[in-house]
Structure 1
Amino acid sequence: MELFYYMVFGALAAVVAAIELSKSNKDRINTSPAFNSFKNNYILVYSLMMAGDWLQGPYVYYLYMTYGYGKGEIGQLFIAGFGSSMLFGTIVGSLADKQGRKRACVTYCITYILSCITKHSPQYKVLMLGRILGGIATSLLCSAFESWLVAEHNKRGFDHQWLSITFSKAIFLGNGLVAIVSGLFGNLLVDTMSLGPVSPFDAAACFLAIGMAVILSSWGENYGDPSEGKGLLTQFKGAAVAIASDEKIALLGAIQSLFEGSMYTFVFLWTPALSPNEEEIPHGFIFATFMLASMLGSSIASRLMARTSLRVESYMQIVFVVSAASLLLPIVTTFLVAPSKVKGGSISFAGCIQLIGFCTFEACVGIFWPSIMKMRSQYIPEEARSTIMNFFRIPLNIFVCVVLYNRRLLVIAEKSKTEDWTALKEKDAEVEPLNDA
C-alpha cells in the first residue's frame, strides 16, 4: 500500500485525537448523571444497530455474485431495496407515531434479522424478499430511533441543548468508529477465518438481537399522536399539511433530501472517480479513511453545537458550500491535470487530489448528521415526527433509484458506443450495478 494512503489516514487520526483531547470546559456542556446514563444507553443501542448495518454493506454485492447472479439481476435487487424503502418503509415507519417508537425500533431489529437470514438462500425470490425487508428496516433506522430519543429526552425533562451531545456522540461512534471496526471484523470473518461471505450477515443478526434485548429491557414506550380515530391516511394528510404550512419544515426536508442525495451519489461513484483507468486502490482502507474523516466532522460538530450563541443554520451554510466544492474536484482536475491513459498501476496525481477532497466531503457529512438531527428536533412537530421524517425520504429514494437506473444505461452506452436510449433500455439486463451501494 502506498505511503500516501497512510499519510492521509495518519493525518486525519492525529487531527481527530487532537480535537478530542483539547476540548476545554467551554466546548463541553455540564449535564446530570441521569442524563449521562440515558445518553450512554441510547448510544450503546445505536452503535449495535449501526454495527448490524455496517457489517452487511461491503458484502451484499459480493454475496450475490457468489450465488451466480448476473449484473442485471443484482442491479434489480439494489433498486428493489431503495424502492421498498420508499413505498413500504414510509408506511411502516410512519406507524411509529401511532403504534409506538419503541415497537418500531424492535420491528427494525426483527425485520433486519429476517433480511440477514434470507442471505442464506441462493433463491432469487428469497433474496428479493430480503432486499424488500432491508428497505423497510432502513426507513425505520432513519426515523424511529431518533423519534424515540427526542420524545424520551423531552419526557424526562432534560435540557433541550443536551440533545446535541447525544446526536454528536452517536454519529462519532456509530457512523465512525463502529463502521471502521465493523469493516475490519467483516474482513476477519470472510478472509482470515474463511467463514464465507454470508458470515458478516450472521454476525449482524447477532448484534441486532443484542440491541433488541437492550431495547426491550431498558426502553420505555412513547408515541406521537396515539388518537384512536386517526387512520394512516389521515396521519399522512396531517404530515403533508404540516410540511406545506410551515416553510421551515419544507425547506428542512429539501435540504435533507438534496444533501443525502449527493451523499448516495458519492457512495456510488467514488470508486470510478479514483480509478478511472482501473488503478489499483485499496478500497477497504479508503473506506476506513472516509469513516475517520466522518468522525472528524462529528467531533467538530460537537464543539459547534456546544456554543449556545452559534446557530446550526449559520455554520451549515458553510458546510454546504465546502461540500459542493469538494464534489467539484473531479471536474476541476479533469481540466487542470492531464489524464493518464495507462491502465492499472497506482493512484494518479489527480486521484490523490480527489481523495483529499472526498475526505473533506466526508468530514462535512460528519458535521451534517448531528446538525440535521438537532434541526429536526427543533422544527418537526412531535405528534408526527416519524411520519414527516419518512416523507423526507421519499424524494431521496426516488433520486437514488433514478441515479442507479441511469448509471446502468450510461455503462451500456460506453460499452456499445451508442446514445440511442431506446436501444439501451432493451439491453438493460446487461448493465452493471454499483457494488458500493
Structure 2
Amino acid sequence: MGVVIESDIWEPNKSIYILLFIFSVVPIFCLPAKSSANVLDHASSASLLRFQRKFLLLFAISSVMEGLWAVFGEYELAYYGFSKDQLLNVISVGFAVSLFIGSFIGVLSDLLGHKKLCLLFFLLHLLVSLWKLVFGTSTFCIFLSLASSIFSFGFEAWMVVEQDKRQEVLNDMFWMMTFLESASFIGSQALANYLIDDNVIRNIKSLWIGAAVLAVLAVGLVTRGWQEAPQTSPLKDYRVSFYRHVISAKRIWLLSWAQSCIHFSVAAFWILWAPSIVADGREVSLGLIYPCLLGSKMLGSTGFPWFFHVPLVLRTEEYLMYAFSIMGFALSIVAYDYQEIGLLVTLFCLFQTCLGMVLPFLARLRTTYLPNEIRGGMMSLSLMPANAAILFLLVLRGHHYIANSTITSIAALGLFSAAGCMYSLKKWGKQLQPSRRNL
C-alpha cells in the first residue's frame, strides 16, 4: 500500500478578499457630505476639474509602472540568472542611487518644475523598457531607482502646487492618491500575470512592451495641453527660503524624522515580509497574500476622510502618534516571533492599514508646515537618513552580520521614535496662518 504525501500550501481564506473589497470600496460611496462635495466637485472650475481627473489617471499609470517592477522584479532578475546574493547587491545599488542622487532631485524639482520631473519619471521607465527590448540585459537598476525616488515625492508636490488656490480639496486628493496607488499595484500584479502567462522565457518581452506602452501614453498625457507655471525663484532665494523654513525650524526636523522613519519601516517591510513568512521552508502562496496587504492599505486610506471631515476629537499629530505606535507594536511582535503564518499575515495587514491612514495625514502636515516652493526638496532630503540606514543594513545582511529580525526590530524602534516626534509636535502646537487654517 503506497503512502501519499500531500503538500500543504498555506493560502488566505477567500472571504478575506471579499471583506477587504467591501470595507475598502463601500466607505467611498458613504463619505461625509463635505468630502463628497470636494472630490472632483462639478462646481469647481473647469480647469481644476480637468487637472484632477487627468492627474489621478496619470498617477494611476505611474503606480502601475512602479508596481510592475515591484511585483515582477525579482523574477525578472532570476530570469537573468541572478543568485540571492546578487539580488541583494542589486537592491543595495538601488538604495545607494536613491541616497546619493535621489536625495537631491527634489531640489531640482522645486527649481525647474515638478511637471518636468514627473515627465522624467516616465522617460526613465521608457528608456529602461526600450533598453531591455533591444539589448536584453539587466543593467537598469540605476534608472529605476531614480524613477522610484521621483515617484516618492514628485507627483504629490506637483499636485499640491497646482491646487494651492483650492486647499480645501487637497486632503481628499491625498487619500485618493494613497488609495489609487495600492489599487494600481494590485492591477500591476494582474497585468504582469496576464502578460507572462506562466511562461517567463517565452513572454518576458511582453512585460517590457507593456511598460513601454504605458510610458508612451503617460508622456503624451503630460506633454499635451498641460501647462505649468514657470519656476521663477533663483537659486539664491531658494537657499534663503530653505534655510528659513527647514534648517532653522525644529518642527520641520521632527516631521522630517517621522517621514524618514516611515520610509525606512516600509522599505524594510517590503524587503522582509516574504522571507519572514516562508522561513523554515514553509510553502506559502505569496501571490495571494500580496493583494491582502495592499487591500489593507486601501482600507486605511478610506478611513482618512472620516477623521478629517467629521469634528476631530484629536489633533492630526495625535492620530499619527497612535498609528505609529500600533505599527511599531506590530513589527515588534514579528521581530520577536514569526512562526505562525496566520498571525504574521494579520500583523502585516494591520501594519498596512495604519500605513494607508498615516500617509494622507503626513501629507496634510507637510502642507501645514511647509511652503510649496520647497516641498520637493524637503521631501527628498528627509529620506536621506532612511536610505542610508537601509543601505548600511543591507550590506551587513549581505555579509551575514545581521539577522532579519534585527532589521525588523530597528524598524519598530524607528516607528516608536516617530510617535515621539508627533507627541512633541502636539505638545509644542503651532499657530497656523489664516490661509492654512482650513487644511
- Match of residue 190 from structure 1: 196
- Match of residue 391 from structure 1: 381
Aligned equivalents of 1:163, 1:264: Cα separation in 2:
26
Does the aligned pair in 2 maintain the 1:100–1:224 contact within 8 Å? yes
Give the counterpart of 1:323 among 313, 322, 327: 327
| Amino acid paired to 1:127 | S
Q: Deviation digits for residues 285-322 of structure 1, max 9, x if unmatched?
A: 11111111011011111222223646422211111111
Does the aligned pair in 2 maintain the 1:27–1:306 contact within 8 Å? yes
Q: Deviation digits for residues 88-134 of structure 1, max 9, x if unmatched?
A: 223333211111111111111112221233334778xx634x21111
Aligned equivalents of 2:24, 2:72: Cα separation in 1:
28
- Match of residue 258 from structure 1: 261
- Match of residue 33 from structure 1: 44
Cα RMSD for the two superposed structures: 2.6
Q: Deviation digits for residues 309-363 of structure 1, max 9, x if unmatched?
A: 46422211111111112212224546xxxx5xxxxxxxxxx21012111101011
Q: 1:274 deviation in Å?
A: 1.7
Name the % identity.
22
Which moved further from structure 2: 208-217 or 291-300? Answer: 208-217
Q: 1:164 deviation in Å?
A: 0.8
- Match of residue 88 from structure 1: 101
Aligned equivalents of 2:88, 2:153: Cα separation in 1:
26
When residues 412 and 370 of structure 1 are mapped into structure 2, their CA distance, relative to the original with a 3 A threshold, is: closer
Q: Deviation digits for residues 177-214 of structure 1, max 9, x if unmatched?
A: 11111101101111257653343233122212212211
Does the aligned pair in 2 maintain the 1:19–1:299 contact within 8 Å? yes
What pairs up with 1:307-318 in 2 under 5 angstroms? 307=310, 309=312, 311-318=315-322
When residues 401 and 370 of structure 1 are mapped into structure 2, their CA distance, relative to the original with a 3 A threshold, is: same
Q: Gaps (5+ residues) in structure 2?
A: 1-8, 405-439
What pairs up with 1:156-235 in 2 under 5 angstroms? 157-158=165-166, 160-173=167-180, 175-192=181-198, 195-222=202-229, 226-227=233-234, 230=235
When residues 292 and 318 of structure 1 are mapped into structure 2, their CA distance, relative to the original with a 3 A threshold, is: same
When residues 52 and 3 of structure 1 are mapped into structure 2, their CA distance, relative to the original with a 3 A threshold, is: closer
Which moved further from structure 2: 215-224 or 73-82? Answer: 215-224
Aligned equivalents of 1:131, 1:200: Cα separation in 2:
16
Aligned equivalents of 1:57, 1:112: Cα separation in 2:
13
What pairs up with 1:266-281 in 2 under 5 angstroms? 266-281=269-284
Q: Deviation digits for residues 236-266 of structure 1, max 9, x if unmatched?
A: 6863553221112111110010011111111
Helix, strand or coil for the counterpart of 2:279? coil
Aligned equivalents of 1:308, 1:69: Cα separation in 2:
54
Does the aligned pair in 1 maintain the 2:393–2:402 contact within 8 Å? no
Does the aligned pair in 1 maintain the 2:179–2:297 contact within 8 Å? yes
When residues 278 and 315 of structure 1 are mapped into structure 2, their CA distance, relative to the original with a 3 A threshold, is: same
| Amino acid paired to 2:204 | P
Task: Count how many residue pairs are aligned between Structure 1 and Structure 2.
Answer: 389
Q: Gaps (5+ residues) in structure 1?
A: 340-349, 415-437
- Match of residue 417 from structure 1: none
Does the aligned pair in 1 maintain the 2:97–2:146 contact within 8 Å? yes
Aligned equivalents of 2:80, 2:138: Cα separation in 1:
10
When residues 224 and 312 of structure 1 are mapped into structure 2, their CA distance, relative to the original with a 3 A threshold, is: farther
Matched, 1:370 2:360: yes
When residues 412 and 42 of structure 1 are mapped into structure 2, their CA distance, relative to the original with a 3 A threshold, is: closer
Matched, 1:379 2:379: no
- Match of residue 138 from structure 2: 127
Q: Report runs of 4+ in structure 1 exceeding 6 Å deviation.
A: 411-414
| Amino acid paired to 1:80 | V
- TM-score, length of structure 2 as denominator length: 0.81
Helix, strand or coil for the counterpart of 1:222? coil
When residues 377 and 26 of structure 1 are mapped into structure 2, their CA distance, relative to the original with a 3 A threshold, is: closer
Give the counterpart of 1:293 among 292, 296, 300: 296
Q: Deviation digits for residues 135-188 of structure 1, max 9, x if unmatched?
A: 22122222222111111101xx21x12101111112111x22111111011011
